[in-house]
Chain A
Amino acid sequence: MSTYKTISEKIFSDHLGRDVEAGEIVIVDVDFMMGQDGTTPLAIKTFENVGAKKVANPEKVAFVIDHNAPSPSEKVSALHKLMRDFSSNYGTKFYDIGEGICHQLIPEKGHALPGQIVIGADSHTCTYGAINCFSTGVGSTDLAIAMASGKLWFKVPQSVKIVLEGSLPTGVYSKDVALYIIKNLTANGATYKAVEFEGPVIDNLSVEARFTISNMSVEMGAKVGLIKLDEKAENWVKERTDKPFKSYEPDEGANYEEIYKFDVSDLEPQIAKPHAVDNVSPISEVEGIPIHQGLLGTCTNGRIEDLRIAANILKGKRIHKGVRLIVAPASKDTLLKAMNEGIIQTLIQAGATVVAPGCGPCVGTHNGVPSDGENVISSANRNFKGRMGNNKAFIYLGSPATVAASCIEGKIADPRKYL
């Protein structure tokens, strides 16, 4: 047993009260668990199949209706009702339509804390790694069993370290860094593993921008994207909870399967081209491709900082004729802040359509399904064929700045000329 441990090994060891290392399969108490409307109905059915009579710790469970909110059909409404009824019967926390996207709400409401083990029935649950929380995506059966027992089985993951060196040029953001890393590691470069991000680039990022990087860890297959808790992140958490928490740093000499170093000082804005997240090019190679729709939002880049960046570019301008720009703020709190700062007015004056906080356009359930042959520039994390509800559309991924600049020009455009 190595005495030098990664962040994941430390979090699991502390939870179990004994030393564990990567590769071991363990059962641990889960500190918080979450399900959204695409995964919770099946979890409820499974919970009933198990014959569970109560939720082990209702205060540690939250349901969020975000993927299809507000409901676009009777059938969806029936599933939402199932969630509302279960929640009121069993006393679990509940975030209804309009509250926002689960991955914004769970850390924002202080449910996911540093040093905890948190699961979510949604693949982007890896997001809260940005505040040093071991958070990972699971399925509905896992959520059901964890609701019933309070526990879940895990394989303690091997870890890889990604060191980000240099400093980010103006107009290049954490989204560009994430896409660049995924290009280099590929879509399964970190499968089954925990990724730890560090280095001066991470240190200089806002907490919001770090969420973007941890969020996209799953696009290289990772279980979680962990970042050390610095003063900035600690303050961010303390503004949202009075509960005590503990944070973890890796030991020097801890066992990493790989250590990657990237200097991002000369990085250009990056674009993921259809239909794979690792199909990434610098913007200079794809500039000029016509676009028909922009999406600003999602659990990757729908936070207040993202809306600010886009609004700064769009202020006093109009989006190109023939382009739709859909804005879906990540949460109600984000929307309210954006209203107070005049961001929403700026975006609407520029021609944007603002929809309820949620995931709809990103997952193709409603609120912005593109037509056949159309190109979309999106601040989301996935560009799979059919992702936005039409398998004959083409999705390009970029930063909020790139989305804004591209919507002005009606073609993929370098945001740096607007800064």
Chain B
Amino acid sequence: MELKGYSHKFGDDVNTDYIISGKYKFSTIDMDELSVHLMEDLRPNFYNDIKKGDFIVAGENFGCGSSREQAPLVIKHAGISAVIATSFARIFYRNSINIGLPLVEVTTNNIDEGDLLTVDLEKGVVKNFTKDEVLKIKSLPKVMLKILQSGGLVNYYKKYGTLELIN
């Protein structure tokens, strides 16, 4: 499956409180209500700039901070098809795979705001049409790819009826 969209570029160490502020996520689990606040401390009105399928592109350590899964959930709910970053924080990485939000680990120095990109997870490549460049993605372990392909851990668990490693 190929994902296609435009880049929204952020810097290093984008933490989960920037993705969705703590002051909202304790009072509701309604993603319609939460996702309008996506990244608002870093970029007010960001939610309105997203076209379905777009990518969030960032530097090192994306998703550091809190374990609250509201962070990857609001990204997915807002219409972002994948997050592309040089590196990810551990719990965010795990949560994203668990909820079926694709993460792409690749050096992002040469991707700029507004670049048109495609992502192919199976082939492991990002194509940057604006820069006419192809980037190779670090491949995911098989189990994680399976979870992602199932649409997340809930579907994986339901599909296989158990929490076993399916190779």
Query: What residues of chain A have their CB less than 8 Å away from a CB belonging to chain B?
Result: 25-27, 37-39, 41-42, 45-46, 49-51, 67-68, 73, 75-76, 79, 120-123, 125, 137-142, 144-145, 148-149, 151-153, 155, 187-188, 191-192, 218, 221-223, 276, 363-365, 382, 384-387, 389, 391
Which residues does chain A contribute within 8 Å of B55, judged by CB atoms? none
* Complex interface: chain B residues within 8 A of A138 (CB): 67, 91, 94-95
Q: Name the residue of chain B whose CB is nearest to the CB of A43.
A: B69
Query: Which listed residue (B41, B91, B99, B141) contacts A123, Cβ 8 A?
Result: B91
A382 to B66, CA, bound (A): 10
Assuming the contacts A27-B163, A68-B26, A191-B61, asked whether A49 and B91 have C-beta atoms less than 8 A apart, the reply is: no
Q: A138-B67, A139-B94 given as contacts; is B41 within 8 A of A389 (CB)?
A: no
Q: Specify which chain B residues have a CB less than 8 angstroms from the CB of A41 in the assembled complex.
A: 29
> Is A39 a contact of B41 with CB atoms below 8 Å?
no
CB pairs A–B below 8 angstroms (27 shown): A38-B22, A38-B25, A38-B66, A42-B69, A42-B70, A79-B27, A79-B29, A125-B67, A139-B67, A139-B94, A139-B99, A140-B68, A141-B154, A145-B163, A188-B60, A188-B61, A188-B64, A191-B88, A191-B89, A191-B90, A363-B22, A363-B26, A365-B22, A365-B23, A382-B17, A387-B17, A389-B23
CA distance A51 to B161 in the complex (A): 11
Chain A residues lying within 8 Å of B28, measured Cβ to Cβ, are 75, 79
Q: How far is the CB of B89 from the nearest CB of chain A, in Å? A: 6
Task: For the complex, give the distance between the alpha carbons of A144 and B153 in Å.
Answer: 10
Whether a CB of chain A sits under 8 angstroms from the CB of B143 is yes
Within 8 Å of chain A (Cβ to Cβ): is B81? no
CB-CB under 8 A from B98, the residues of chain A are 139, 141-142
- Among B17, B94, B165, the one with the most A-chain Cβ atoms within 10 Å of its Cβ is B94
* Most B C-beta atoms less than 10 A away, residue of A45, A67, A188, A391: A188
Interface centre among A42, A67, A75 (most CB of B within 10 A): A42
Partner of A384, one of B15, B26, B27: B15
CB neighbours (8 Å) of B128 from chain A are: none
Q: Assuming the A-B contacts A76-B26, A142-B98, are A149 and B17 also in contact, with contact meaning beta carbons closer than 8 angstroms in the complex?
A: no
* Chain A-chain B contacts (Cβ-Cβ < 8 Å), number: 148
**B65 CB within 8 Å of chain A:** yes
Query: 6 tightest CB-CB pairs across the interface, nearest first?
Result: A139-B95, A139-B69, A188-B61, A141-B98, A123-B67, A75-B27
A39-B69, A188-B89 given; A151·B163 CB < 8 A: yes
**Other than the known A67-B26, A149-B163, what 9 A-B pairs have Cβ atoms closer than 8 Å?**
A41-B29, A42-B29, A79-B29, A120-B67, A141-B153, A145-B163, A192-B93, A276-B13, A385-B18
A391 touches B95 (CB 8 A): no
Asked whether, in the complex, the Cβ of A123 is within 8 Å of the Cβ of B66, the reply is yes
Question: In the complex, A141→B151 CA distance in Å?
Answer: 13
Specify which of B17, B22, B143, B152 is in contact with A153 (CB 8 Å cutoff): B143
Minimum Cβ distance to chain B for residue A29 (Å): 11
Q: Are A38 and B60 in contact (CB under 8 A)?
A: no
Contacts of B141 in A (CB 8 A): 25, 155
Residues of chain A lying within 8 A (CB to CB) of residue B23: 364-365, 386, 389
Question: How far apart are B148's CB and chain A's nearest CB, in angstroms?
Answer: 13
Residues of A within 8 A of B21 (CB): 364, 386, 391
Chain B, Cβ-Cβ closest to A44: B29
Q: Is B118 among interface residues, defined by CB-CB distance under 8 A?
A: no
By CB atoms of chain A within 10 A, which of B25, B90, B98 has the most? B90
- Is B68 a contact partner of A38 (Cβ separation < 8 A)? yes
